């Protein structure tokens, strides 16, 4: 019997697990008083796009775990890759002029799918560490170039780049900044390209140019000679699946080139097929200098992240820079790399980036548009590949929002939980990012659940 077939010994009831959880486990981004009052939902197993909780309820996971389980649950190839690698060499580091075979093979595989010119990869364990690495790498780059005063990095309000000191600083989440004196020095933010919230007085395309112009204005204010880089998610994920107008990213790229500023694409969510191509920058039409990745690289089966390094930065780091004083014990962890390699092979074998770009992504967009046209609660639907958002509104004709205190998004999320659907609420934006293996029939199943939960929310508001 293999390890994965060993039966779990169920020794405790849901209530007992919840009590132990409340006593000992500090969850991320959680109000623990509220959690203890309700008890955590205990997820016990998963297959394909479905989860089962400790009460036996089947749940359609329209969030791919946390935007990461791109190949869906229960993929034997990934499980076997981990088992094989753990038996052979569970760990060895990549310091001291040493390497392991999976770390090399994965670097080669990543270079093969990355946009042209990205031949090098630096490994981390998470997206946050990838973005911390980017801060250090960008500063190191400008030191090597002889312009050490270029230290300032510009991110965006409501962007998300992780939870470490640098990640949370690059991000523009005001609640995170409010705790602990963030951002750290030399990190600045411009407004996000959120047409629904900020740009409805102009066309989407004009708004895209206007929003990109905010970057130029900030660069000039800070002094171009002091600015090291601009960072953004091709499509803001945690901020609410905010798909920028098509005019936005090409203009951002032009501005970065005009002032010789490095352009960083945070692909932690958008990478590995989610946008309908391997990387979100390809879908959104720009070429960055650095790419942060995590999540979908291993479909979340094991922690892994990293930075794909474009030609210009690689040349400085590798040919001119000597030692880069940076790294983690688990940079290039062989088991994580072996699982990621199996994941990339499966994404390619199932042709998932193309399937998302040409079949399931457009089908989701059609279904979302139909729902927005007809449902009283939905003011706007947006999607890009297999990530989408439904903006809930108080008045469909004027698109007037609900008062924040009504927490309508959370109401709707509650109905989703109760009806076997995991959807995320960002304010009053309801978000999906299902596993990329989702079929058309399963999108129909998801849409029926969404419709039901919106109806229940509407009934409750009446
Ligand atoms: N960057 C983006 C765009 C993310 O969405 C996230 C996490 O959701 C991160 C970075 C941080 O990744 P991690 O949670 O693996 O540290």
With the most atoms of ligand 1 within 8 angstroms of its CB, the residue from 123, 128, 340 to mutate is 128
pLDDT tens digits for range 242-291: 999 999 999 999 999 999 999 999 999 999 999 999 999 999 999 999 99
Kindly tell me if the per-residue pLDDT of 4 is higher than 50.
no
Which atom of ligand 1 lies closest to the CA of 295? 15
Which atom of ligand 1 lies closest to the CA of 159? 3
Kindly tell me if the per-residue pLDDT of 445 is higher than 70.
yes
- In the structure encoding, which two tokens stand for residue 380, read together? 């706007």
Q: What is the pLDDT of residue 196?
A: 94
Percentage of the chain beyond pLDDT 90 is 97
What is the mean pLDDT of the segment spanning 124-143?
A: 98
Kindly tell me if the per-residue pLDDT of 7 is higher than 60.
no
The sign of the torsion formed by the CA atoms of 6, 340, 131, 422 equals: negative
ipTM of this complex > 0.90?
yes
Question: Which residue, 253, 251, 248, 236, is CA-closest to 205?
Answer: 248
Measured CA to CA, the distance from residue 79 to residue 34 in angstroms comes to: 35
Q: What is the pLDDT of residue 49?
A: 98
Measured CA to CA, the distance from residue 42 to residue 420 in angstroms comes to: 14
Ligand 1 centre to CA of 236 (Å) is 11
Measured CA to CA, the distance from residue 159 to residue 170 in angstroms comes to: 8
- Name the band, by pLDDT with cuts 50, 70 and 90, for residue 180: confident
Ligand 1 centre to CA of 56 (Å) is 30
Which atom of ligand 1 lies closest to the CA of 233? 3
- In the structure encoding, which two tokens stand for residue 295, read together? 């999540």
Kindly tell me if the per-residue pLDDT of 1 is higher than 80.
no
Mean pLDDT of the chain: 96
Ligand 1 centre to CA of 168 (Å) is 10
With the most atoms of ligand 1 within 8 angstroms of its CB, the residue from 123, 235, 294, 308 to mutate is 294
pLDDT tens digits for range 28-79: 999 999 999 999 999 999 999 999 999 999 999 999 999 999 999 999 999 9
Which atom of ligand 1 lies closest to the CA of 127? 12
Kindly tell me if the per-residue pLDDT of 16 is higher than 50.
yes
pLDDT tens digits for range 265-274: 999 999 999 9
With the most atoms of ligand 1 within 8 angstroms of its CB, the residue from 127, 242, 300, 306 to mutate is 127
pLDDT tens digits for range 368-416: 999 999 999 999 999 999 999 999 999 999 999 999 999 999 999 999 9
Q: What is the pLDDT of residue 19?
A: 96
Cβ-based burial of 454 (10 A; exposed 0-12, middle 13-18, buried ≥19): buried
Ligand 1 centre to CA of 278 (Å) is 17
Which atom of ligand 1 lies closest to the CA of 128? 16
Ligand 1 centre to CA of 161 (Å) is 5
- In the structure encoding, which two tokens stand for residue 175, read together? 């609640």
Residue 184: how many other CB atoms lie within 10 Å: 13
List Cα–Cα distances, 274 to 337, 363, 435, in angstroms: 20, 14, 9
Kindly tell me if the per-residue pLDDT of 89 is higher than 90.
yes
Q: What is the pTM of this model?
A: 0.97
DSSP sequence for 117-136: T--EEEEESSHHHHHHHHHH
User: Pocket around ligand 1: residues whose beta carbon is below 6 Å from it?
Assistant: 126-128, 131, 160-162, 233, 237-238, 266, 268-269, 294, 305
Measured CA to CA, the distance from residue 251 to residue 45 in angstroms comes to: 45
Measured CA to CA, the distance from residue 161 to residue 164 in angstroms comes to: 9
Q: What is the pLDDT of residue 429?
A: 98
With the most atoms of ligand 1 within 8 angstroms of its CB, the residue from 295, 303, 305, 307 to mutate is 295
Look at ligand 1, atom 7, and give the residue with the nearest C-alpha. 162
Kindly tell me if the per-residue pLDDT of 209 is higher than 80.
yes
What is the mean pLDDT of the segment spanning 114-140?
A: 98
Q: What is the pLDDT of residue 10?
A: 65
In sequence order, the β-bridge partners of residue 118 are none
Which atom of ligand 1 lies closest to the CA of 238? 5
Ligand 1 centre to CA of 53 (Å) is 25
- Name the band, by pLDDT with cuts 50, 70 and 90, for residue 9: low
With the most atoms of ligand 1 within 8 angstroms of its CB, the residue from 241, 269, 431 to mutate is 269
Ligand 1 centre to CA of 268 (Å) is 6
With the most atoms of ligand 1 within 8 angstroms of its CB, the residue from 63, 160, 272, 328 to mutate is 160
Report long-range pairs for 2-7 (Cβ below 8 Å, ≥24 apart): 2/83, 3/83, 4/79, 4/83
Ligand 1 centre to CA of 127 (Å) is 4
Q: What is the pLDDT of residue 3?
A: 44
Quote the Cα angle for 229-160-274, to 5°.
100
Ligand 1 centre to CA of 385 (Å) is 19
Question: Which residue, 237, 303, 226, is CA-closest to 266?
Answer: 237
What is the mean pLDDT of the segment spanning 112-130?
A: 98
Residue 384: how many other CB atoms lie within 10 Å: 24
Measured CA to CA, the distance from residue 413 to residue 308 in angstroms comes to: 35
Ligand 1 centre to CA of 329 (Å) is 20
């Amino acid at each position: 019997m293999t390890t994965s077939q060993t039966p779990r010994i169920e020794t405790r009831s849901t209530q007992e697990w919840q009590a132990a959880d409340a006593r000992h486990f500090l969850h991320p981004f959680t109000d623990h008083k509220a959690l203890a009052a309700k008890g955590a939902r205990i997820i016990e197993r998963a297959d394909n796009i479905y989860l089962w909780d400790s009460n036996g309820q089947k749940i359609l996971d329209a969030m791919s775990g946390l935007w990461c389980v791109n190949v869906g649950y229960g993929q034997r190839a990934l499980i076997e890759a981990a088992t094989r690698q753990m038996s052979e060499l569970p760990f060895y580091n990549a310091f001291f002029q040493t390497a392991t075979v999976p770390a090399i093979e994965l670097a080669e595989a990543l270079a093969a799918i990355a946009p042209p010119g990205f031949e090098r990869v630096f490994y981390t364990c998470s997206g946050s560490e990838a973005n911390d690495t980017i801060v250090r790498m960008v500063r190191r780059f400008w030191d090597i170039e002889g312009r050490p005063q270029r230290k300032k990095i510009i991110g965006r309000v409501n962007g998300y780049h992780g939870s470490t000191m640098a990640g949370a600083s690059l991000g523009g989440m005001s609640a995170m900044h409010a705790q602990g004196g963030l951002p750290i020095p030399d990190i600045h933010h411009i407004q996000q390209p959120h047409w629904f919230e900020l740009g409805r007085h102009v066309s989407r395309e004009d708004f895209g140019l206007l929003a990109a112009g905010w970057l130029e204005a900030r660069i000039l204010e800070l002094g171009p000679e002091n600015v090291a880089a601009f960072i953004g998610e091709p499509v803001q994920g945690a901020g609410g699946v905010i798909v920028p107008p098509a005019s936005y990213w090409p203009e951002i790229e032009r501005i970065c080139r005009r002032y010789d500023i490095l352009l960083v694409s945070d692909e932690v969510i958008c990478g590995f097929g989610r946008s309908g191509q391997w990387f979100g920058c390809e879908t959104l039409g720009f070429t960055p200098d650095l790419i942060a990745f995590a999540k979908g690289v291993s479909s979340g089966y094991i922690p892994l992240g990293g930075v794909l390094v474009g030609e210009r930065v690689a040349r400085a780091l590798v040919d001119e820079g000597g030692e880069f004083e940076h790294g983690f014990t688990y940079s290039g962890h062989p088991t994580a790399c072996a699982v990621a390699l199996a994941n990339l092979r499966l994404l390619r074998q199932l042709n998932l980036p193309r399937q998302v770009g040409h079949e399931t992504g457009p089908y989701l967009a059609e279904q979302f548009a139909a729902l927005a046209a007809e449902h009283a609660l939905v003011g706007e639907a947006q999607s890009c590949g297999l990530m989408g958002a439904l903006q809930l509104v108080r008045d469909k004709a004027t698109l007037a929002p609900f008062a924040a205190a009504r927490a309508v998004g959370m109401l709707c999320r509650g109905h989703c939980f109760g009806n076997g659907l995991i959807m995320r609420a960002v304010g009053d934006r309801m978000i999906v990012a299902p596993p990329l293996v989702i079929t058309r029939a399963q999108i129909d199943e998801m849409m029926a659940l969404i419709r039901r939960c919106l109806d229940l929310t509407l009934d409750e508001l009446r």
